[in-house]
Amino acid sequence: MRKSVAATAFALATATSAYAADMPTKAPYYAPPVWSWTGLYAGAHAGYGWGSFSIPGVSGSSDMDGFLGGGQIGYNWQTGNLVFGVETDLSWGDISNKTSVSAGGVSFSETDKADWFGSVRGRIGYALNRNLLYFTGGWAWARGKVDVNVAVPSLGIGGAASSSATHSGWVLGGGWETVLTPNWTLAVEYQHVSFDTQNYFNTVPVDLDIDTVRLKVNYLFR
C-alpha cells in the first residue's frame, strides 16, 4: 500500500514539473521612460494676428489683421510636473489696414501697419509627461508704420508721407505643447500684447495693441 501511494505521488510530481516546464514564459514589463522637458530648443512659427492703431482720447480706431511668421529660441527646466522656462521670439508679417476716401476731387489713403514685433518672456507650465500646458508673459516691442497718400487727379498733383515708430509694452499668453518625436514638439500659442503710446509725424500720438494665434514647431537639443 505504501509503495502504491509513493508511486502515485511521484507520478503526480513528475507530471506537474513537466507541465510547468512547457508553460510559456511571460515577458518582463518595462515602463516607458518619463519624458523630460529640460533643455535648449529652437524653432519656427506661423500664424494670424489682429490689432488696432488708435489715438488716445479719440473714438474709433484702425483695425488691422494679417499673417505672421518667425522664429523662437528658449530653455526649459523641469522639476516634478512643473516646468519653468525663458523664451524670445521675433515675427515678421503684414498686420495692416488700408483706408481710402475720395471727396470733392481729392483722394486720400492711409495704411497702418505693424511689420515686425518680438518678445522676451518667462514660461511656467504643468507637464503631463509628453504634454505641456503653460502660461507666458514678459516684455515686447514692435515697429508700427503709417503711410499717407493724397492726390488731386484733376490737377495732376499729389503727395505721400510716411512715419514709423518703435513701441514697447507687455505681453501675456498661454499655450499647449506636445511631443512629436524625441527631438520635435508642436505647440499652439495665444499672445496678447499691449504697447505704449508713440508719436507719428512728430505730433500724432498712437496706441498699438496686437493679438496673435500661432502654430510653433520646436527642435530639442538633446
Residue 221 has pLDDT above 50, yes or no: yes
Looking at the chain, how many residues does it have? 222
Residues 136-178: pLDDT tens digits?
999 999 999 999 888 887 777 878 889 999 999 999 999 999 9
**Residue 106: DSSP 8-state:** E
Instruction: Give the cell for residue 3.
Output: 509503495
Return d(Cα 222, Cα 217) in angstroms, integer.
16
pTM score, two decimals? 0.80
Q: What is the pLDDT of residue 7?
A: 47
Collapsing DSSP to helix, strand or coil, 208 comes out as strand
Residues 24-63: pLDDT tens digits?
556 555 555 678 999 999 999 999 999 998 888 777 778 9
Say if residues 187 and 216 touch (Cβ distance below 8 Å).
yes
Q: What is the pLDDT of residue 11?
A: 46
Torsion-angle region of 129 (φ positive above 0: left; ψ -120 to 50: alpha; else: beta): left
Q: What is the pLDDT of residue 209?
A: 94
Return d(Cα 208, Cα 195) in angstroms, integer.
5
Q: Are strands 131-152 and 157-181 parallel, antiparallel or unpaired?
A: antiparallel
Return d(Cα 174, Cα 190) in angstroms, integer.
6
Q: Are strands 157-181 and 106-128 parallel, antiparallel or unpaired?
A: unpaired
Say if residues 29 and 59 touch (Cβ distance below 8 Å).
no
Beta bridge partners of 78: 83
Measured in whole angstroms, the distance separating CA 87 from the mean position of its chain's CA atoms is 10
For the CA atoms of 149, 67, 196, 84, the dihedral, rounded to the nearest 10 degrees, stands at -170
